Structure formats: structure tokens, C-alpha cells
Amino acid sequence: MKEKNILLRRYIGMILGVFIISVGIALFKESHLGNDPISALNMRLAEIFGISLGLQNLYANIIFLILQILFGRKYIGAGTFANGILVGYAVSFIYGILVKNFGYAEQYGMPIQIAWALIAVVVTSLGVSLYQTADLGVAPYDYLSLGLRDKTKKHYYGCRMFTDGIAALATFLLGGLVGLGTLLSALCLGPVIHFFDVHVSEKFIGYTPGGEKEEEKRDSSK
């Protein structure tokens, strides 16, 4: 009975996490200070290749999914498909609500835009933490930092900062738009996600993924 209850809480955490991620991405859009690093990179690649953003996202996910199948098959599950199918639609719906009720952030000036971006970092981090802690599969891009942690035995937040930083740097080198929101994402998502993992998600779900357990064990042995 206890195992069934934990499994139910994991599914609730995964679904709730995907929804909260969608809210966070919509908040980034509302800030008009740049997108998260991988979205910014995909936008620039779509411009370079002259294809739609949707098609570029598909190509990128296929490449990352191949890596996930080859090296991190355990990270493929319900969460992988829930993220891929639901987030795009949810972001559009939530962003429409934000614009309808608050207008566009830039009309209120830079301080308000920065506030939106900071809130977006916190909200997105909470969502990512919940759905990754549920351990029911993650999106192909999110696997990169988890897989890097597993291979290098380094902290997750450092691995996340590395993958987000590479995406932001690639966007810049390719002539894409790297806004303040993009930089905030690259620098802050990893540490804030890790904070929520330890202090919120694991307690809410009552479950700690194997990779997180190993990281905590390494920390305690130092």
C-alpha cells in the first residue's frame, strides 16, 4: 500500500511539475528579456536553416533522444512524453492569460521585466525539480545534465549550469539573441532546481531518485 501511495505521489509530482514548468516558460515569454538557453538556441538554428521553430525543436529533440536512448534509457518514461506533448500547448494557453490580464511587461519598464524573469526562474526550477524527482522520465534536453552528473559524479546543479551555459554560448556565437532572461536561466536554474530537490520535491513526493541518492551519499562522505 505504501509503495502504491508513493507511486501515485510520483505521478502527481510529475504532472504538477510539467504544468508548473509551463507556467515558468510563459513567465519568461512575458518578461520579454530572452528565452531559456535551449529555446534561444533552437530559435537561432531555425533562422539559420530557414525552417520553422517547431521543426527545429523536433530535430533537436530527436538528436537528444538518440543520446538518451544510447546512454540514459532509464530516463525515458511517462514524464518524457508528458513534457513533450503538453508543455507547448500549456505555455500558449497560460501566456494568453498573462497577456490578457497584465498586458506586455515591457510597457511597465525594465524593473518589472526583471521581476517577471526572476519569478520565472523560481517557478520553472520548482517545476523541473518536481518532475525530475518523480523519476518517471524526463525530456531529452533535461537528460543531458542528469546524464552528465551520472557519468562525471559531479553535482547536478553544476552539470545543469554547464549544459545551459553551452546552449547560451552557442546561441551567442551563432549570432542569436541572448537576453538577460537567458543569462539568468543559464546561471540560476541549476542551483535553484537543486535547492527545490532537497527542500521541497523529495519531501512532497516522499521519494528520492537513485542519482540524487548517490549525489547526497557522496556529499555526506566528504
Residue 83: count other Cβ atoms within 10 Å of its Cβ.
Answer: 25
Q: Any long-range contacts for 157-165 (C-beta under 8 Å, 24+ apart)?
A: 157/190, 157/191, 157/193, 157/194, 158/190, 159/190, 160/189, 160/190, 160/193, 160/194, 161/186, 161/187, 161/189, 161/190, 161/191, 164/36, 164/37, 164/38, 164/189, 164/190, 165/37
* pTM (2 d.p.): 0.88
What pLDDT does residue 86 have? 84
What pLDDT does residue 219 have? 65
The residues near 64 (Cβ < 8 Å, ≥ 6 apart) are 140, 141, 143, 144
Residue 115: count other Cβ atoms within 10 Å of its Cβ.
Answer: 14
What pLDDT does residue 150 have? 92
Confidence of residue 53 (pLDDT cuts 50, 70, 90): confident
Alpha helices (H) along 2-77:
2-31, 37-49, 53-71
What pLDDT does residue 195 have? 95
Confidence of residue 84 (pLDDT cuts 50, 70, 90): confident
Tell me what the mean pLDDT of segment 74-95 comes to. Answer: 87
Joined grid coordinates for residue 177: 539573441
What pLDDT does residue 90 have? 87
Give yes or no for residue 214 having a pLDDT over 90.
Answer: no
What pLDDT does residue 1 have? 64
Give yes or no for residue 212 having a pLDDT over 80.
Answer: no
Tell me what the mean pLDDT of segment 107-126 comes to. Answer: 93
The residues near 142 (Cβ < 8 Å, ≥ 6 apart) are 83, 128, 132
Q: Residue 146 corresponds to which amino acid?
A: L
Confidence of residue 199 (pLDDT cuts 50, 70, 90): very high
Contact criterion met (CB below 8 Å) for 145 and 156: yes
Confidence of residue 71 (pLDDT cuts 50, 70, 90): very high
Instruction: Pick the more confident residue, 92 or 12.
Output: 12
CA 90 from centre of chain: 15
What pLDDT does residue 220 have? 66
Tell me what the mean pLDDT of segment 62-85 comes to. Answer: 91
Q: Residue 103 corresponds to which amino acid?
A: G
Per residue in 129-176, pLDDT tens?
A: 999 999 999 999 999 999 999 999 999 999 999 999 999 999 999 999
Tell me what the mean pLDDT of segment 90-116 comes to. Answer: 90
For residue 210, give the nearest of 65, 83, 72 by alpha carbon: 72
